[in-house]
Amino acid sequence: LLFLIICQCAINSVNTHHVSNPNVILLMADDLGIGDLGCYGNRTLRTPNIDRLAEEGVTLTQHIAASPLCTPSRAAFLTGRYPIRSGMAAFSRVGVFLFSASSGGLPSEEITFSELLKQRGYATALIGKWHLGMNCESSNDFCHHPLSHGFDYFYGLTVTNFRDCKPGQGSVFLKGAQKSLVIPIQIAGITLVSLAIAQYIGLLKVPFQALGYCLLITAISLAVLIFFFYHFRHLNCFLMRDHQIIQQPLCYENLTQRLTKEAVQFIGRNTDTPFLLVLSYLHVHTALYASKNFRGKSKHGLYGDAVEEMDWSVGQVLDVLEKYNLSNNTLVYFTSDQGAHVEEISSSGEVHGGYNGIYKGGKSMNWEGGIRVPGLLRWPGVIQAGAYMDEPTSNMDIFPTIVKLAEAQLPSDRIIDGHDLMPLLQGKVTRSKHEFLFHYCNAYLNAVRWHPGNSESVWKVFFFTPNFSPEDSNGCYDSHVCFCHGGFITWHDPPLLYDLSRDPEEKVPLTPETESRFHEILRVIQLAVDKHTRSLQAVPDQLSWNNLLWKPWLQPCCSSLLQSCYCD
């Protein structure tokens, strides 16, 4: 009897340890479509390691990104809060950070899950893409840097992977620069020439000094623009370890192998202490790349090669957990920051964007293709294996989930929009706590999802929708991404209404004739919008033009501008 009591105590002790203070590995792809993975129905791309997470864990089939763009989605992921609450949602056209020398970023007042886990004794690391700012007032204050937001170790990119970072892959800025700058330059040129002619023939007396200053300012502005875009790759595409730039410009050769090696080594260094690892892949954002072992091996060109290389990397991480007997005490999560970028087509006509399955639209849109993302969670022996859950969940839910698992306290001085997933994952409850989810296009409330507690329906209303170009397409191909205001959108009064439980492809909006509760549904959703809007507080806009623009004095450079900021 004594032996049995001792054994039972030992088992209880193991179980108690098993469900508290686990290691946490968060794997985030970039621009990956939900239809790109075998576990979500793809039959031509090979993703056995990611599929293994689904087989050994839970597959969320209605997992929603808090934003269809990188920067705001990642801010929401780290803080558990809608990006509008932290100032990480733009009122301008540009909704993400484009330059390493911008002054905006995730505010220091925001609390990240990495900070809270670090306080609980976790070793914390971010490997890969950050895209939430770096400096505020000088080139080395690192106010927005990952190490200022709870990470002990950083190896990766502070901005993102651009086409401009890889020679021969074109530019994300060229079309926009042509549209935005050509007309102002022409106007300035015509104005200056007209003034000079008027001065010469005596129609108008313009002080020569003023004319000279105008010419000088115009010439300097043009010179700065030409210098910046000519040197864009050197100035914005670099690899850092902690606060030090170790490769400028970034080299893509074996890049995924290097990121994976860093992740594996971090796990190896922390086998005896709880750890948090965020492995934020550059795949499959353009510029696309794949190493020699994967190039040309998939059925979907370079995009498919990149997906399969990322899957290999996931396998390496899972293997090292097995090697150190850590699998049973590690929660692993895999997702994408938003849906696939359907407008991504290379200069040679090759499709460089992913597949969102049956869902409409993609990145930058709040149609399901832009926000319904993979959501896979594995924790052997603790959460269900091989289970599928169709309840609405959010990438903001990771914050309270892992904070509670680490036995840290959730912040009480702010609204946390995410909910703990563990009761759902363990089968203790069958309904999501998200009755409403609010879908923002930048800082503008675009759509709302309502899952009533007494119904299987998932209602979704759109207040406005993007204008596709061409009209009969599935995206905004003329502008490369869809925008959120002005002539780029169409407002709807009454709002468009869909029932995603019956029409997940958002093909046929409901009307009062086809849905008897039409007006009642809109009324309930409007009440929820009013309540949500009252909960918002004014905060500094981190994505204002002032915070977005390139500021030379904030430019990180590992050598000198005369050496084109080169180091390796």
CB 156 within 8 A of CB 259: yes
> So which residues are the catalytic ones?
70, 131
Strands 23-29 and 275-280: parallel
Residues near 484 by beta carbon (within 8 Å), at least 6 away in sequence: 93, 95, 441, 442, 444, 446, 466
Question: Which pair of tokens denotes residue 191?
Answer: 């104005």
Looking at beta carbons, which pairs linking 413-419 to residues 24 or more positions away fall under 8 Å?
414/81, 414/85, 414/111, 415/81, 415/85, 415/535, 416/80, 416/81, 417/66, 417/76, 417/80, 417/81, 417/82, 417/85, 418/80, 418/81, 418/394, 419/394
How distant, in Å, are the alpha carbons of 160, 362, 495 from that of 341? Answer: 15, 6, 26
Upper half-sphere CA count for residue 375 (Cβ side, 13 Å):
25
What string of DSSP letters covers 88-156? -S-SSS--S---TT----S-TTS--HHHHHHHTT-EEEEEEE--S---SSSTT--TTSGGGTT-SEEEE
Range 416-438 burial, b when 16+ CB lie within 10 A, else e? bbbbbbbebbeeeeeebbbebbb
Residue 377 CA to residue 54 CA, distance in Å, equals 7
